[in-house]
Structure 1
Amino acid sequence: AGDRVAILCQNCPEVFVIEFACARLRAIFLPLNWRLAISELDYLISDATPRIVFADDEHIGRAQQVCEHRPESISMEIGESTDFEKILAIGDHSLPSLPAADFDDVWMILYTSGTTGRPKGATLTHGQNYLQAVGLGAEYGVTHETVGLTYTPTFHASGLFMFAHPTLLFGGTTHLMRSFDAQTVLNMMTDRSLGLTHSLAIPTNLLMIRNLPDFEEADFGNMVIPSGGAPVPGALIKTFSEHGAQVPQVWGMTELSGVSTSLPPDKAIEKAGSCGPPLMNIDVAVIDEHDNFINTANVTGELVARGPMITRGYWGLGDANAQFYLEGQWFRTGDAGKIDQEGYVTIIGRWKDMYISGGENVYPAEVEEVIYQLPAVDEVAVIGIPHELWGETGMACIVIKPDQELSETDVTKHCLAELAKYKVPKVVQFLEELPHSANGKILKHVLRDSLGIADELDRTLRSKSEEGNHA
């Protein structure tokens, strides 16, 4: 009990075999991001100190490399014709009498993406995993007849929780893809013989599927495809709805045991832009820059959350975990958002991504939503850049769809018609592509680095530095 068991591989059934073996043994499951460099993997191994690192044939060499100087860690290959497979085939079920896991026993450590420094290992318990599966099952009607599709990485909360865990808990079927391929996903989602009912899609995945020629004739047969990880453009939700898909926006984070709010599928169009009310077992509130709770509806601040779903802390940080919580065990999410009169949460963006232009707070997600209304836009990321007069202004980094045309004037004119002047980006940059994380999120800190923008733009909480409105 308590030993860490790491796995380094792309999506495969062995992920779940090892995960549930850890549950039975009360060991701690440690999925590793196979896209990391050796130095990054070495840091995770040194931080979590697993007893063993399982890896597939593609990654066993790197597993051996990070274990070779660590006597406490060994590596073992998984997959066909391996010793691991032979052990499974023996089917020896004799185990010593083991006590059942308690609610608060840690089942897994999921490392965050580390976009603001070293990755941190969020600890999640057996009880939290159970509550998450039950909550999602109740929200989305998961039953023994559910047929899910999982293609997001299983080293990430999305790959485990949406919808593999609830589907397995209720006795349904999960189709597991090794990795995402837009054409294959579209083919599977529209193949009535497979009968897919549930899947998760990061907004980037939805954009890639929408851009396929076959999408025009696609019929998703009322499939439920929640989307999160970034604000979902309303126009994209509407487009998929017209093809028979329900695309409710969800919000959550690894530290909250995955999804924390969810827009009911029947509200996906009516409440487009919102990510719904909190799920069971979690409370969500809004605070200002001075940590005061905001009780007025539709006022933007930093979202905080509390309840049994919140991580008890990051692995190995001990007392340093206190910095991530307010009094009353409210966890700082780092997301900017607001809550309406009905309790529906709307995500404005990352609180640290907010920039201040002439004393006015600007939230990039709001500007991005407007730019996405332009038919030629494939992807967009808005970031703050220094400005001599206003302190900061926005730069819109845009990827244009193939065979489409768009000018800076087109973008500026459209934004001026839809936004206050201070929110309109002063700079428009057209790029071939935007940098993404392993689960499809746009990496704005990488984008800033690639454009040579000063590091100080990666800021934490801040208040207005100037007064006045230059609208």
Structure 2
Amino acid sequence: MNTRGQSVLRRRKCLRAALNPEASEEPIFDALIAARERFGDKEILEDQDRNPLTYTGLIRAAFVLGRKIAALTEPGERVGILLPSSAGVVVTFFGLHAYGRVPVMLNFTSGERNLKAAIKASGVKRVLSARRFVTQAKLEALIDDLATVTEIVWLDDLRQTVGLQDKLFGLMAGFFPNRFRVATAPSDPGVVLFTSGSFGAPKGVVLSQSNLVSNVRQVASHIALDPDWVVFNPLPTFHCFGLTGGVMLPVLTGMKAFQYPSPLHAKQIVELLPQVKASILFATDTFLNQYARVAGPDDFSTLQFVVAGAERVRDETHHLFNTKFGGVKLLEGYGATEAAPVVAVNHPDRNRPGSVGQMLPGMEWRTEPVEGITGGGRLFVRGPNVMRGYMSADDPRVIEPLQGGWHDTGDIVDIDADGYVSILGRVKRFAKIGGEMVSLAAVEGLAAAVWPESRHAVVSIPDSRKGEKLVLVTDRMDAESSRLSEWAREHGAPDLAVPKKIVRLAEVPVLGTGKTDYVGIQKLVETEARAA
């Protein structure tokens, strides 16, 4: 058999294994144990403190800490985690699973109001955090506010109570984890997350353990992953991209996971990448653009590829990677919290910039036409990684099931003959101007073509004459509509796509994940319009 044929055969075998129901129908902690058996007791986890953990070290630490937490909680209880990306959050996550508790990942950048709402919506009685983190992040006032609605449990205090007996217990549990862990089912809750809130109020999502494990298997069957690689994750674990891509994927596939607490530290991150021999970097376009600007030509030399998700990758970011770093492959993907999160992603050998790649193995999809929009359809997806439904607003224990298992992404997509997916925009991200549907994402693309080094956001507000009016919010302080109109005429873009009103800001608001904060921007523009 020739080399090409062998490669195809291996891929097919990998695909069958990845999509084997028995392989994906596995509780999270059991999947961790199985990974140690498969890859050996190698270093698997590290953070900026530079104290790496092996598989056995991670399992033992999870049992010791999990036992302490279990003494304070009830079986099946949902327990909040308010921590940055670190070895500590990974140990805490698996520690909860070792004893049948459910992690609820809380977004500490979302503010007091949203956090309290998330705590109430998910039925959380206790939140785990660390004093060192709270002090460094200056969250003392926030913690004081949260303490009025939930109990704050300090992991620092729990660790100080670990004695010889606990260490001996951890030693034995590390040898025989299957005997010590609490048995759970793949269908049991694996994590509670909240949607980003980029376009509206965050929704509570309960992902099963098999949802998360299945998504790891799907990605691993789509892209051949080398257990010798190192994944660098600066994304927060309250974001599904950071949790699945930055933690679950490397740990369950034998790759070392390096956790960094904030994606905002561009200079520190690019300096660390070659030091830790990072092979894969996960981030959003916002952060990747910043990293590319401050990085030297050799800072990305160890990277096999970079994976971008959560927001559209700008042409400028693609250009930076193509020209400045010797063609380091930038793979754009697409996902949703409701899908654990990866739905589609480009392949290192089949990368089509401008698309988000091909659907993962095991995904089903369909598109439905949207009135007034041509050249695409509203995307619905179904698969082993897709949640059963949203948490009920009335009762956190009740799940509102998806009809037929189909999740309505709310995204307008085009899928070509080769299966490559292009995101045209969200249903909510279209404006009806003079009877014509205009994509706000396309208008942002127009602004980016004129001022590629700036950040832009476009929203719409009511207009008495044309129904709606476009407003460009930009950090380009000399931006003028005339320049946009000139570009539109030269490139055949319709005049309807040119914003006549521009709001100039020192910084365009973003969420903690790096995604554009459209909700905040909409409120800002509407407030300014009322005051005018």
Task: Tell me which residue corresponds to 2:450.
Answer: 374
SS, match of residue 299 in structure 1: strand
TM-score normalized with structure 1 length: 0.83
Is contact 1:379-1:398 (8 Å) kept?
yes
SS, match of residue 114 in structure 1: coil
SS, match of residue 87 in structure 1: coil
Report the CA distance shift for 1:223/1:412 in structure 2 as closer, same or farther (over 3 A).
farther
User: Aligned pair 1:445/2:519, yes or no?
Assistant: yes
Task: Tell me which residue corresponds to 1:101.
Answer: 184
Which residue, 198, 202, 205 being the options, matches 2:284? Answer: 202
Q: Partner letter of residue 187 of structure 2?
A: D
* CA offsets 1:151-175 (integer angstroms, 9 cap, x no match): 1111111211123211111222122
Please give the alpha-carbon distance, in whole angstroms, between the structure 2 residues aligned to 1:371 and 1:216.
Answer: 29
User: Aligned pair 1:76/2:153, yes or no?
Assistant: yes
Task: Tell me which residue corresponds to 1:66.
Answer: 146
* CA offsets 1:121-167 (integer angstroms, 9 cap, x no match): 21111111111122223333323211011111111112111232111
Task: Tell me which residue corresponds to 1:274.
Answer: 355
User: Aligned pair 1:185/2:262, yes or no?
Assistant: no
* CA offsets 1:294-333 (integer angstroms, 9 cap, x no match): 9xxx8322211112211112234579965x844x322111
Please give the alpha-carbon distance, in whole angstroms, between the structure 2 residues aligned to 1:21 and 1:216.
Answer: 40
SS, match of residue 347 in structure 1: strand
Is contact 2:362-2:383 (8 Å) kept?
yes
Is contact 1:282-1:307 (8 Å) kept?
yes
Question: 5+ residue gaps in structure 1?
Answer: 457-471
User: Aligned pair 1:389/2:478, yes or no?
Assistant: no
Shift, 1:352, TM fit: 0.5
Report the CA distance shift for 1:302/1:375 in structure 2 as closer, same or farther (over 3 A).
same
SS, match of residue 154 in structure 1: coil
Task: Tell me which residue corresponds to 1:136.
Answer: 219
Shift, 1:347, TM fit: 0.9
User: Aligned pair 1:17/2:94, yes or no?
Assistant: no
Is contact 1:38-1:66 (8 Å) kept?
yes
Structure 2 counterparts to residues 347-362 of structure 1, below 5 A: 347-362=423-438
Q: Partner letter of residue 5 of structure 1?
A: V
Structure 2 counterparts to residues 199-238 of structure 1, below 5 A: 199-212=281-294, 214-215=295-296, 219-238=300-319
Is contact 2:481-2:500 (8 Å) kept?
no
Q: Partner letter of residue 83 of structure 1?
A: L
SS, match of residue 95 in structure 2: helix
Is contact 1:325-1:331 (8 Å) kept?
yes
Q: Partner letter of residue 122 of structure 2?
A: A
Structure 2 counterparts to residues 339-354 of structure 1, below 5 A: 339-354=415-430
User: Aligned pair 1:435/2:512, yes or no?
Assistant: no
Aligned pairs, how many? 435
Please give the alpha-carbon distance, in whole angstroms, between the structure 2 residues aligned to 1:344 and 1:205.
Answer: 25
Structure 2 counterparts to residues 313-332 of structure 1, below 5 A: 313-317=389-393, 325-326=402-403, 328-332=404-408
Which residue, 21, 44, 51 being the options, matches 2:118? Answer: 44
* CA offsets 1:58-105 (integer angstroms, 9 cap, x no match): 1577556534555xxx332124xx333543873223788655322211
SS, match of residue 473 in structure 2: strand
Task: Tell me which residue corresponds to 1:303.
Answer: 379
Report the CA distance shift for 1:383/1:101 in structure 2 as closer, same or farther (over 3 A).
same
* CA offsets 1:185-233 (integer angstroms, 9 cap, x no match): 22233x2x43211111211112222333x45675545531111212212
What's the RMSD between the two structures over aligned residues? Answer: 2.9
Q: Partner letter of residue 293 of structure 2?
A: N
Q: Partner letter of residue 407 of structure 2?
A: F
Moved more, 431-440 or 160-169: 160-169
Is contact 1:7-1:55 (8 Å) kept?
yes
Task: Tell me which residue corresponds to 1:87.
Answer: 162
Report the CA distance shift for 1:199/1:217 in structure 2 as closer, same or farther (over 3 A).
closer
Aligned identity (percent) is 22
Q: Partner letter of residue 199 of structure 1?
A: L
Question: 5+ residue gaps in structure 2?
Answer: 1-74, 174-178
User: Aligned pair 1:399/2:475, yes or no?
Assistant: yes
Shift, 1:411, TM fit: 2.6
TM-score normalized with structure 2 length: 0.74
Shift, 1:262, TM fit: 0.5
User: Aligned pair 1:147/2:230, yes or no?
Assistant: yes
Is contact 1:231-1:349 (8 Å) kept?
no
Task: Tell me which residue corresponds to 1:465.
Answer: none
Task: Tell me which residue corresponds to 2:40.
Answer: none
Report the CA distance shift for 1:97/1:184 in structure 2 as closer, same or farther (over 3 A).
closer
Moved more, 310-319 or 90-99: 90-99
Shift, 1:364, TM fit: 1.6
Is contact 1:261-1:279 (8 Å) kept?
yes
SS, match of residue 373 in structure 1: helix
Please give the alpha-carbon distance, in whole angstroms, between the structure 1 residues aligned to 2:519 and 2:144.
Answer: 31
Please give the alpha-carbon distance, in whole angstroms, between the structure 2 residues aligned to 1:69 and 1:446.
Answer: 25
Q: Partner letter of residue 207 of structure 1?
A: N
